[in-house]
Structures are given as structure tokens and as C-alpha cells.
Amino acid sequence: MVNTQVNLSGWTLDNPVIPASGTFGYGAEFAELYDINCLGTFSFKGTTLHARYGNETPRIAESASGMLNAVGLQNPGVEHVIEHELPELKRFFRKKVIANVSGFSLEEYVETARRLDEQEQVGLIEVNISCPNVHGGGMSFGTDPKAAAEVTAAVKKVCTKPVYIKLTPNVTDIASIAAACEDAGADGISMINTLLGMRIDARRRKPLLANVTGGLSGPAVFPVALRMVWQVYERVNIPIIGMGGVSSAADVIEMMLAGATAVQIGAANLVDPFVCRNIVEALPGLMEQYRIENLTDIIGGAHR
């Protein structure tokens, strides 16, 4: 009998399969299709202090082996999530969830994280530092080690639950940023967010996205994500939640061998709403095939 359990900073998950923020909503739509309690947990839609409409449409563009999105963090705001989404979530999901936090200033990050940290259903705070710093010239918090560390330290001061920092891949040295977050008190790292890209409509001679650029996700980014997880594992001593193009149980195993403790699945949910359930079901058989008794034994296994 194989053991699929993994541990994120003291929180034991039945398995490492986690739908990624922005691709699973608050779970309600997927709960109509299958019992989502089979999942390790899930990261709910990125939440900001105030409600956001998001970017203008079109927001989605297809690409070979992937997709571009420029949704712009559309969400109802933290108060609505606390008052409506979390109580609704209790009806169909009995486990704790990951709260994904976004912000455009240090103060926004801190206040949103503080409020979500107080919720009993939240097991972990995932801080998305790919957002532009409105007080820092518009540069993403996640592209500068100092800014990344500042957000990490500030959020840690107001949270009692583990804080994982979600890193942007749009940098030269992601390991240095991960190390800065660890030094500032991060309990773990989530990586990677989407890669910056664009498409152009040749007939109209205009960008396909109203925002011009968007985030590339899907199978095309898997080798990049795997390489970055490998690099960060070599640099830090805190758990990593790996993501980026994962779409099969084999991808999960590969990501864990590179150094991930748990694995998030994003764009694949938009292609096949049953993909996470199917990965959970396929994992034990694949573990037996590879002679893996405990999943925790293979974390970082390719480094040894």
C-alpha cells in the first residue's frame, strides 16, 4: 500500500495534488462534477483587499501547447470572500484551503493576508508577488529581492499560519529572490507564476489581448518551471509547491523529483475539469510502477 501523503509546514495533505489559484474559482463549479475532497487541497481565486473588475476583454488567447491570460485579478474583494465564498465552501469541502493573496501596495498585502489568516478554513497563505508595486514605479514586487523580502516580512508579522510566497518566473535569477524570501521568514515557496508573452492577430494587425501582453501557462512552460524548481531547491531549505504546465501524474512525480513537496495544476483544469481527480487516481499506480512507497521519499530525489 503506497502512501501519497505530503506535509506543508505541519499541514498534512492526503496527496500533493492542488488546483492552482485562478483556475478553480472557489471550488463550487468543480464540486458539481466530482467530490473535490479527493484533492490534497486547492488554492482559491486570487483575492485583493477591494473588489476588482479586471482587465478589458479579450483576456484569453490560445497558443501552441498553452494559453495566454490577462484577466487582471478580477475578484469580489476580501470581505465578500469571507462573508460569502468561505461559508458556501463549507457545504462541499471539508478540508482547509490555500488563500491566495494579491496586492498593489505593501499595506494591501498585509491587510488582506491578516483578514484571511483569521479564517478557520484557511490552512496556508499564498502571497502572489507578481503584482505591480504602485508605489514603486509599477515594477513587480517579485522581480526585486529587496521588495520580495519586504512583502514577506510584513505579511509574516500579521499571520499565524504558514506563509508561502508565489514567485514570478520573469526574472534572471529566481533562486536569489527565493532565498531573500526565506531570509525574511517565508515558510515556503510557490512557483512558478505565468511567463510573460503575447500574440498578434495578423489580419487585424493588432495584439490579440486588450492588455497587449499576458501570462503564458500550459504544457509549454513545464520544462521552464521544472528548471526553476530545481534551482530554488538547491538554494533554500523550505518547502516548494511546484507548478507550471503540470497535466499528468507523471508530471507530478517529475516535479517532486526536482524538489517540490506538493504540486499545483493550473491551465489543465480549463482543458479538462476532471484532470486533478484523474491525477489523484493515477498516482498510486504510478508509484507502484516506479517502486515508490512514500511520496515524501522522492522530494528532491533527482538531486541525490
**CA separation for the pair 207, 188 (Å, rounded):** 37
Pairing of strands 262-265, 240-243: parallel
For residue 45, CA distances in Å to 28, 48, 81, 277, 288 come to 12, 10, 10, 19, 34
Q: In a 3-state reduction of DSSP, which class is residue 79?
A: helix
DSSP string, 23-40: SSTTSHHHHTTS-GGGSS
Strand partners of residue 11: 8
Of 19, 14, 16, 2, nearest to 239 by C-alpha is 16
Helix runs in the chain, H state only: 28-31, 78-80, 86-89, 106-117, 145-158, 174-183, 222-235, 249-258, 268-271, 275-289
What residues contact 118, with CB distance under 8 A and at least 6 apart? none
Q: Which of 131, 159, 181, 276 is catalytic?
A: 131
Residue 131: active-site member: yes
Of 186, 184, 129, 192, nearest to 163 by C-alpha is 186
**CA separation for the pair 79, 133 (Å, rounded):** 22
Residues annotated as catalytic (active site), given as ranges: 131
